Amino acid sequence: MNKLLHLVSLLILATMLLPSCSKDDDSGKPLVVACEASTSPYCYFLGNESKPPVAGVDIDLIEAIGKELGRPVQYRVVPFQQIFTMVQMGKADIGAAGITITPDRAERVLFSTVYDLSSQVIVVPKNSAIKDETMLANARVAAQEGTSDLALLRERIKPRAVVPFLTQEGVNAALVDRRADAAVMDAMQAGLFLNNTDGQYKILEKPLTRDQYGLIFNKKNKKLADAANSVIDRMKDAGEIQASRTKHINVLSDHPGLGAKTTDETVNPFVVCLDASFAPFAFLSENTLVGVDVDLAQAIAAELKRPLQIRIVPFREVIPLVASGAADMGASGISITPERSNIVLFSNPYEDSVRRILTTEDAPYERLSDFEGKTIGATSGSTHEEYAKNELHAGTVKHFDSATHGIIMLLNHEIDALVDDEGEADLAASKYIGQVKMLNIAIPADQYGFAIRNGDQATKAAVDKVIEEKRSTGEIPALIFKYNLLYKQIQTNGI
């Protein structure tokens, strides 16, 4: 009996002396980061050849934090306003994209210590009569949605028209094609824009504000925020953040395809803008951009003998960016319509789409007529919006910027139903069994094509050649099957 007690005591002592393995130890667990990839120099998309595919001051910070914690980093590229939602819901550990610290935002999320300072400025054409903030009262002024720039416009400046865009590239394109008379943006982004437009624009002398930037965390995750703050403080003291900013400004000034000017005539990048939340055509898998449209874009760039540069933007910005000349081609399963054909040149179709309707499992809707007067969700800028208005006779159409965002709205009863492509609808119905159902009504929708700048017949010829070659060999259906399967695996595993 005494021997048994002695043995038990030894076992307890040995257990106490083992290295601590607390449940709170997240070492090895992926650090999920929600970011918006058009907020240069803080976060921008370089391409799959870069590991990670996004770069910037914020990314340098986050990679250092991940290394310090022993956690691999996974990036989720989303529209700016979705960053806060993902962090609040626990879908992301950190939010990044040059985020201005404000009292309103601090009520929703936990901010890191300040890692950089900047200011908001007004950008106008070089010959503009606008001299200061007061002269914006009769102007159309652009800014990025979800940012403090837009809040400043609406609450303080109050111009004749506020023109919001989901990305900074959309804001820049609006200035270039005169959809806006002026724009409010971060001073560093303004400097990059001026550098890339050959002196056609100017920054007004007096800044509007002085901003402080921070990373964001869920309010319950103070432990992670404290660990991140230690890394930020160390990098600030060592001058590493300032060095990071300088490095990325230089990259953005010299890198073809990131909106930079180049005097080298032999370097002519093939710039493609797309939405990275539209499987199987474009989506992120383990920090790599993949999909049918990505593979086809690579083949088209090879046909043109031009280096490929991809910019990730929300869907509704794709066609405006192509039309304004900011991109050579737009992708992400774009439906060919007469209205869009007035704005851009379309390739030959490469896939037919089918439209589906999703509701909650307990919803009473069975026929298309049941949706009259209801609140329907649809992707911003998609043909599903028009279908909801004109065919379903929705009372209200609410926009979402990704299929995941739409499902969240549906489950939260912010909408009565949502309209989406069959692939996305089928995946959602499979993932949320018992919560979401897909109506047994298949609605023929559209044909997908690539958007090309009007008049660019040479690019259209190359795009059409690749499409016809891939269709004749059966490669396009094979790609659709391959990436549908991959995306389904990702959704099933909750990645």
State the pLDDT at residue 25: 63
State the pLDDT at residue 259: 39
- Do 189 and 223 reside in the same domain of the chain? no
- Do 87 and 100 reside in the same domain of the chain? yes
| Distance separating alpha carbons of residues 440 and 386, to the nearest angstrom | 21
Q: Cis link prior to 41 (omega < 30° from 0)? A: yes
State the pLDDT at residue 456: 94
- Do 121 and 108 reside in the same domain of the chain? no
DSSP collapsed to 3 states, 332-383: EEEECCHHHHCCCEECCCCEEEEEEEEEECCCCCCCHHHHCCCEEEEECCCH
Instruction: Let me know how many helices (H) and strands (E) the chain has, helices first.
Output: 17, 27
Question: What digits encode the pLDDT tens for the residues 414-472?
Answer: 999 999 887 778 778 878 888 999 888 868 667 899 999 999 999 999 999 999 999 99
- Do 316 and 180 reside in the same domain of the chain? no
- Do 321 and 466 reside in the same domain of the chain? yes
Query: Could you tell me if 239 and 115 are in contact, meaning their C-beta atoms sit under 8 angstroms apart?
Result: no
Residues whose CB is less than 8 angstroms from the CB of residue 336 and which lie 6 or more positions away in sequence, other chains included: 346, 349, 446, 447, 448, 449
Domain membership flag for residue 317: yes
State the pLDDT at residue 494: 52
Distances (CA, A) of 165 to 245, 281, 289, 320, 372: 25, 23, 23, 10, 30
- Domain of 357 in residue numbering reads as 268-495
- Do 336 and 474 reside in the same domain of the chain? yes
- Do 410 and 322 reside in the same domain of the chain? yes
Domain membership flag for residue 331: yes
pLDDT in 10s for each residue of the chain, 495 residues:
444 444 444 444 444 444 433 334 677 899 999 998 777 788 887 766 667 778 899 999 999 999 999 999 999 887 777 899 889 989 899 999 989 999 999 999 999 999 998 889 999 999 999 999 999 999 999 988 767 788 788 888 989 888 877 677 778 888 887 889 999 998 888 888 888 787 899 999 999 988 899 999 999 999 999 999 999 999 999 999 999 988 887 777 655 444 333 334 445 778 898 888 788 899 888 768 899 999 999 999 999 999 888 877 778 778 877 887 778 999 988 989 888 999 999 999 999 878 889 999 999 998 888 999 999 998 876 788 888 888 898 999 997 766 777 888 898 899 999 998 877 787 788 788 889 998 888 686 678 999 999 999 999 999 999 999 999 999 999 999 999 888 878 766 654
Domain membership flag for residue 336: yes
Domain membership flag for residue 81: yes
State the pLDDT at residue 204: 95
Domain membership flag for residue 488: yes
Residues pairing with 344 in the sheet: none
How many structural domains are present in the chain? 3
- Do 333 and 442 reside in the same domain of the chain? yes
Last-in-domain residue among 202, 225, 254:
254
- Do 459 and 330 reside in the same domain of the chain? yes
- Do 410 and 334 reside in the same domain of the chain? yes
Domain membership flag for residue 9: no
- Do 353 and 405 reside in the same domain of the chain? yes
Domain membership flag for residue 262: no
Please state whether beta strands 443-452 and 329-335 pair in parallel, antiparallel, or not at all (unpaired): antiparallel
Residues pairing with 33 in the sheet: 75, 94
State the pLDDT at residue 8: 40
- Do 389 and 494 reside in the same domain of the chain? yes
CATH number, domain with residue 73: 3.40.190.10
Domain membership flag for residue 275: yes
